[in-house]
Amino acid sequence: MRRMSNVLSAVAWPYANGPRHLGHVAGFGVPSDVFSRFMRMAGHNVLMVSGSDEHGTPILVMADANGVTPEEFVDTNHAIIARELTDLGCAYDLYTRTTTANHTTVVQELFTQNLANGYLVPQPQQVALDPATGRTLPDRYIEGTCPICGYTEARGDQCDNCGNQLDPIDLIDPRSKTSGQPPTFTETQHWFLDLPALADALRTWLEGREASGTWRPNVIKFSLNILDDIRPRAMTRDIDWGIPLPGELGEQYPTKRLYVWFDAVIGYLSASIEWARRIGEPERWRDWWNDPEALTYYFMGKDNITFHSQIWPAEMLGYAGKGNKGGEPGQYGTLNLPTEVVSSEYLTMEGKQFSTSRGYVIHVRDVLDRYGPDPLRYFICAAGPENQDANFTWAEFVQRNNSELVAGWGNLVNRTAAMIAKNFGEIPAPAGLAEIDEAVLKAVETGFDTVGDLLTHHRQKAALAEAMRVVSEVNKYVTDTEPFKLKGDDQRERLATVLHTLVQCVSDLNTILAPFLPHAANRVHAVIGGRGQFTPLPELRDVTDLDSGKAYPVITGDYTSTPPWRRVPVEIGAAIAKPTPVFVKLDESVVEEELARLAGDSPAQA
């Protein structure tokens, strides 16, 4: 029996520049939820946090383009994203946002202590400013003529035509992408995170993680590799949207803000603190952050590895005074470094990358509205980009839904309930179990170990495949025992035994599948005579900011009623009525409809 642990599920913060597409939830949303649900069922003390990432230049630029303030812009998008994730069933203890007063306080505390310990150092930097706004102009927001190939729409960081890396100062006729004016190149002071001073501590930590053998090989290799040419990185910007520098620095430099990534990763901590404050136990977050026995898992897409295996650990090490310059921890103490950075790859669509800007995209909202959460969660779990880029096609989406979810699992549920309803109307008591009954019960019960072990090691595709293989074994049990032929009075006991065995197997499989398909699990539970809600779902709740009083929606939930990860005997005598199907087949025409929709969307948007 595994000992109960405190487990932090730290889920990547969606950028609040619009609704989420399939690639986003395939990368971090569904995998983190499956893992967290399983760990709760296995008896661990899980805290799952995330929120909307709402600062940074792109949001500022998009808000301007939409004629709204950045605050209005992120208020809208945060609400949209929170609703999507709720409807997808992602069971956060708290899904909040980076524009809370609490977050500002926590971020400034980390900045202040890193500064005091000497890991944030001021340095002059050559930057481009937009003369129209006075804001830092990131390289990619400068356009001009490529000095290499002459392409007139080259970006400051890269030329999309010839593919060469560029420096914006080399562009011919550079202009701001937002105002059209030529940028002014000037020198300004910014605070740099002294990563070289933290590199030894980072390497020690990463080598320990490598020795654990638990990280995905590409993630640990990449993380170690980027240590080799580590350099200080600027953690402030000249911009008027973001978290101000703390204390006197803020007064001295009112036009500077903290770099969006400096604050975004701190969200894991600030959300944990906000959660603790909201439940009225303001120190409870320390169970996951200060207890060295706690396990902390970070879920994200592969483009975010550097921020989770380098920047965020460096911020925590600097805060604790654990780099080459020494220092003391601040009021939050020594914070736990990630146990595991669980990075997924990319989901492509019909062979090409998602592109919101080109309209080549499938939004989570649309899939939820048209097909519900179960088919989507099933597809992502069965065919998602766990270890390498994976391809989404509508044809495979329909096929997986119809031939696996509906025909395999849904049909087993349905035929089981139908036979019990017709013959008994309630779960019958078994007589003596035959060898074949014992065998199938054992095969299913073993599933808790095999599937659970795979889930523990973030092998969700293999875990779901194993669960579905067991579904197939139970379907075979029906073929072998032929309960539909047991019609005579003298066969009544045998029929009762087979159907009791069958519904026990279905109940167990429903438990095993619950992390993947929580909504369906509740409906299956009802179909086979269960009472009440089987597994908890998250709720969208309007709250007010603990410090500023502003209202905003969060995702939260009470997950104390999570069922255990083991066989629970079905209740003899529980009523079972003629079932209505839990899963519905999708018509093949869906494929053409969706492809047409995609093609129709494609050229329109800018």
Partner RNA sequence: GGGGCGUUAGCUCAGUCGGUCAGAGCAGCGGACUCAUAAUCCGUCGGUCGUGGGUUCAAGCCCCACACGCCCUACCA
- Residues in 253-292 at the binding interface with RNA, rule: CB under 7 A: 259-261, 264
Nearer to RNA, 41 or 239 (CB): 239
Query: What is the nearest approach in angstroms of RNA to the Cβ of residue 276?
Result: 25
Nearest partner of 36 among 522, 462, 515, 467, judged by Cα? 515
User: How crowded is residue 35: how many other Cβ atoms within 10 Å of its Cβ?
Assistant: 23
Distance separating alpha carbons of residues 245 and 121, to the nearest angstrom? 13
Nearer to RNA, 166 or 441 (CB): 166
Nearer to RNA, 406 or 455 (CB): 406
Please, are residues 2 and 40 in contact by the beta-carbon 8 Å criterion?
A: no
Please, are residues 460 and 386 in contact by the beta-carbon 8 Å criterion?
A: yes
Nearer to RNA, 385 or 563 (CB): 385
Positions 8 through 47 that interact with RNA (CB under 7 A): 15
Q: Interacting stretch for RNA, rule CB under 7 A, among 48-56, 80-88, 290-298, 427-435?
A: 48-56
Tokens standing for residue 466: 């194993």
Q: Contacting RNA (CB under 7 A), which of 19, 43, 58, 246?
A: 58
Asked if 240 interacts with RNA (CB under 7 A), we say: no
Nearest partner of 256 among 114, 389, 135, 411, judged by Cα? 135
Asked if 393 interacts with RNA (CB under 7 A), we say: yes
Asked if 411 interacts with RNA (CB under 7 A), we say: yes
Distance separating alpha carbons of residues 402 and 382, to the nearest angstrom? 13
Please, are residues 433 and 505 in contact by the beta-carbon 8 Å criterion?
A: no
The count of chain residues that interact with RNA, using the rule CB under 7 A, is 87
Asked if 462 interacts with RNA (CB under 7 A), we say: yes
The 182-201 contact track toward RNA, x by CB under 7 A, reads --------x----x------
DSSP one-letter string for 573-594 = T-B-PPP--SS-PPPTHHHHHH
Query: What is the nearest approach in angstroms of RNA to the Cβ of residue 15?
Result: 4
Q: Contacting RNA (CB under 7 A), which of 53, 93, 194, 315?
A: 53
Asked if 226 interacts with RNA (CB under 7 A), we say: yes
Q: Between the CA of residue 566 and those of 156, 449, 507, 512, what are the distances in Å?
A: 56, 9, 10, 8
Residue 97 β-bridge partners = 52
Positions 109 through 128 that interact with RNA (CB under 7 A): 125-128
The 419-448 contact track toward RNA, x by CB under 7 A, reads x--x--------------------------
Which residues are within 8 A (CB) of 130 and not within 5 positions of it... i.e. 6 or more apart?
A: 137, 141, 176, 178, 179, 181, 183
Q: Contacting RNA (CB under 7 A), which of 160, 283, 291, 303?
A: 303
Torsion angle of alpha carbons 546, 547, 549, 555, nearest 10°? -30
Query: What is the nearest approach in angstroms of RNA to the Cβ of residue 571?
Result: 21
Q: Contacting RNA (CB under 7 A), which of 179, 484, 590, 598?
A: 484
Positions 317 through 346 that interact with RNA (CB under 7 A): 345-346
Asked if 408 interacts with RNA (CB under 7 A), we say: yes
Query: What is the nearest approach in angstroms of RNA to the Cβ of residue 496?
Result: 15
Query: What is the nearest approach in angstroms of RNA to the Cβ of residue 293?
Result: 27
Nearest partner of 352 among 579, 547, 598, 35, judged by Cα? 598
Q: At what angle do helices 57-66 and 70-88 cross, to 10 degrees?
A: 110
Long-range pairs of 148-157 with CB within 8 A, sequence gap ≥ 24: 156/128
Query: What is the nearest approach in angstroms of RNA to the Cβ of residue 297?
Result: 19
Asked if 357 interacts with RNA (CB under 7 A), we say: no
Count the helix, strand and coil residues of the chain and give each as a percent rounded to the nearest 5. 50, 15, 35
Q: Interacting stretch for RNA, rule CB under 7 A, among 2-10, 64-72, 279-287, 412-420?
A: 412-420
Asked if 179 interacts with RNA (CB under 7 A), we say: no
Nearer to RNA, 410 or 557 (CB): 410
3-state SS class at 291 = coil
Which residues are within 8 A (CB) of 511 and not within 5 positions of it... i.e. 6 or more apart?
A: 41, 448, 521, 563, 565, 566, 567, 568
Pairing status of strand 236-238 against strand 184-193: unpaired
Q: Interacting stretch for RNA, rule CB under 7 A, among 143-151, 274-282, 396-404, 557-565?
A: 396-404
Q: Between the CA of residue 123 and those of 189, 190, 320, what are the distances in Å?
A: 5, 6, 23
Q: Contacting RNA (CB under 7 A), which of 153, 281, 389, 453?
A: 389
Which residue has 């299956």 as its token pair?
524
Nearest partner of 368 among 32, 87, 78, 587, judged by Cα? 87
Asked if 508 interacts with RNA (CB under 7 A), we say: no
Please, are residues 483 and 436 in contact by the beta-carbon 8 Å criterion?
A: no
3-state SS class at 9 = strand
Q: Contacting RNA (CB under 7 A), which of 414, 460, 522, 556?
A: 414
Positions 557 through 596 that interact with RNA (CB under 7 A): 581-585
Query: What is the nearest approach in angstroms of RNA to the Cβ of residue 290?
Result: 27
Nearer to RNA, 389 or 539 (CB): 389
Query: What is the nearest approach in angstroms of RNA to the Cβ of residue 27?
Result: 11
Nearer to RNA, 259 or 288 (CB): 259
Q: Contacting RNA (CB under 7 A), which of 66, 184, 472, 544?
A: 472
Give kind and range of the element (H or E) at residue 446.
Answer: helix 435-456
What is the Cα 388 distance to its own chain's centre? 17
Q: Contacting RNA (CB under 7 A), which of 131, 134, 217, 564?
A: 217
Nearer to RNA, 41 or 514 (CB): 514
Asked if 148 interacts with RNA (CB under 7 A), we say: no
Q: Contacting RNA (CB under 7 A), which of 68, 148, 407, 595?
A: 407
Asked if 56 interacts with RNA (CB under 7 A), we say: yes
> In this structure, what DSSP letter does residue 459 have?
-
